[in-house]
Amino acid sequence: MSGGGDDRHLKPATRLVRGGRRPEWTGPVVNPPVWRASTHLYASDAERQAAGRNNADGQFFYGRRGAPTQWALADALTAIEPGAYGTVLYPSGVAAIAGVMLSVMKPGERVLMTDNAYDPTRSMASGLLARLGVETTFFDPRDVDGFRAAVAGAKGVWLEAPGSLTFEMCDVPLLAGIARAAGAAVMLDNTWASPLGFAGLEHGCDIVMMSLSKHVGGHSDLMMGSASAGKRWYGMLRRVSHELGQVVSPDDAALAARGLRTMGVRLAAQTAAAKRVAAWLEGQPQVAQVLCPLLPSDPGHALWTRDFTGGCGLFSFVLASDDPAASARVADALELFGIGYSWGGYESLALPIRPEDYRSCMPGTGGAPALRLSIGLEDAEDLIADLGQALALV
Ligand SMILES: *Cc1c(COP(=O)(O)O)cnc(C)c1O
């Protein structure tokens, strides 16, 4: 769905509230109703034929092209993504990654992928993309000279900042500038920061995707993904998503739109709590290192401060113990943190991690036991006390 409305001059919090609520979609109520629709009826056969020829956004055609509920969510996401012409919705974040990759990459071409990319993105590179004849080279995003050498001849670059599990930052505008000068399209997984924390298109990226299952949903009850881009790449994303038959349910779209309205306050609260918990962890004798660009001591903090306008509640820490089972002991002892995948919900989660299992040229934690935390909306003091009693067992 292209659009985004005329709210570009308004601040992000205001756009978050107003986005997608066009009167023709909402009628007399606040939120766009749930339109469950496969068949759209036409007033005449001439109208049906005109709709087919026109193939425009925001026009009824057939359920696979959505209805106002999905259009409203996509429109709201475009409204909060500076530089976006349109947004495509996918049934999961991984489906969005596939939609982006298949829109950009062709057989015989090479994509450069940041080594700390989300694990399923790496699996897609070695699986689906390899089978389609797309070659992948992994790179350390902190090694700019290495990147400059590797990008020659590549048609696409996949970035993620900060990276999954270990949260190394990279210089997105610098890498994107080098990539574009070399003729490569720049794709960014912006799930961690969301457009509220990082305006990817304005920092040199061509396509920005995110998993809506995390911050946008925000309540651990929905799977969805999105990709936003300027006019040229939006057209390709839309075309490929139609060719692949990608569609999201109107019920889930309504749920995601509902989550979106409070994403700003949730992210602000979770970022503030994460900063407190991370700073406390840094002072504990059982903790060797905290991997969190929100902390002034983190090597990525300067880039995060320069380029980002926000963060989130997701970071990791490395235990000082050399017992590989120590991370599971801590996770099991935590009472306020659930053990589980996904993140960005209102409830805190803890996950023992082994990032080196998903790396080709970066060290991960070098085998040291580590945990990833997703800080929810509980009181940070309670979370710190819980971590304190669990760490005492290491
Ligand atoms: C979770 C996640 C995804 C995938 O999203 P799903 O909605 O779970 O498919 C993509 N990128 C990152 C960084 C993620 O954490």
In short, whether 225's Cβ falls inside 6 Å of ligand 1 is yes
Whether pLDDT at 312 is above 80: yes
How far is the centre of ligand 1, averaged over its atoms, from the C-alpha of 39 (Å)? 31
> What is the distance between the alpha carbons of residues 116 and 158, in angstroms, rounded to a whole number?
10
How far is the centre of ligand 1, averaged over its atoms, from the C-alpha of 191 (Å)? 7
Give the pLDDT score at 1.
82
- Rounded mean pLDDT, 267-290: 98
In short, whether 198's Cβ falls inside 6 Å of ligand 1 is no
Whether pLDDT at 2 is above 90: no
Give backbone dihedrals phi and psi of 102, rounded to 5 degrees, phi first: -75, -15
Known active-site residue 214: yes
In short, whether 92's Cβ falls inside 6 Å of ligand 1 is yes
Q: Give the residue whose CA is nearest to atom 6 of ligand 1.
A: 93
> What is the distance between the alpha carbons of residues 61 and 331, in angstroms, rounded to a whole number?
50
- What ligand 1 atom has the least distance to the C-alpha of 213? 7
Residue 113, strand partner residues? 138, 158
Give the pLDDT score at 123.
98
- Rounded mean pLDDT, 347-371: 96
Q: Which of 95, 89, 32, 38 is nearest to 64 (CA)?
A: 38
pLDDT in tens, 207-242: 999 999 999 999 999 999 999 999 999 999 999 999
Give the pLDDT score at 27.
93
Whether pLDDT at 70 is above 90: yes
> What is the distance between the alpha carbons of residues 15 and 34, in angstroms, rounded to a whole number?
21
Give the fold, CATH level 3, of 12-259: Aspartate Aminotransferase; domain 2 (3.40.640)
Give the pLDDT score at 4.
75
pLDDT grade, residue 245 (50/70/90)? very high
Name the residue with higher pLDDT: 250 or 54: 250
pLDDT grade, residue 301 (50/70/90)? very high
Q: Which of 175, 148, 145, 149 is nearest to 160 (CA)?
A: 175
In short, whether 118's Cβ falls inside 6 Å of ligand 1 is yes
From 15, 122, 214, 372, active-site residue:
214
- Rounded mean pLDDT, 169-177: 98
From 118, 140, 266, 386, active-site residue:
118
Whether pLDDT at 364 is above 80: yes
In short, whether 228's Cβ falls inside 6 Å of ligand 1 is no
Domain ranges in the chain?
A: 12-259, 264-391
- Rounded mean pLDDT, 269-289: 98
HSE-up (13 A, CA, CB side) for residue 314: 22
Give the pLDDT score at 274.
98
Residue 111, strand partner residues? 136, 156
Known active-site residue 15: no
From 75, 115, 171, 189, active-site residue:
189
In short, whether 89's Cβ falls inside 6 Å of ligand 1 is no
Known active-site residue 357: no
Known active-site residue 238: no
Give the pLDDT score at 372.
98
Class for domain 264-391, per CATH?
Answer: alpha beta
The number of beta carbons lying within 10 Å of the beta carbon of residue 309 is 11
Whether pLDDT at 8 is above 90: no
> What is the distance between the alpha carbons of residues 214 and 202, in angstroms, rounded to a whole number?
23
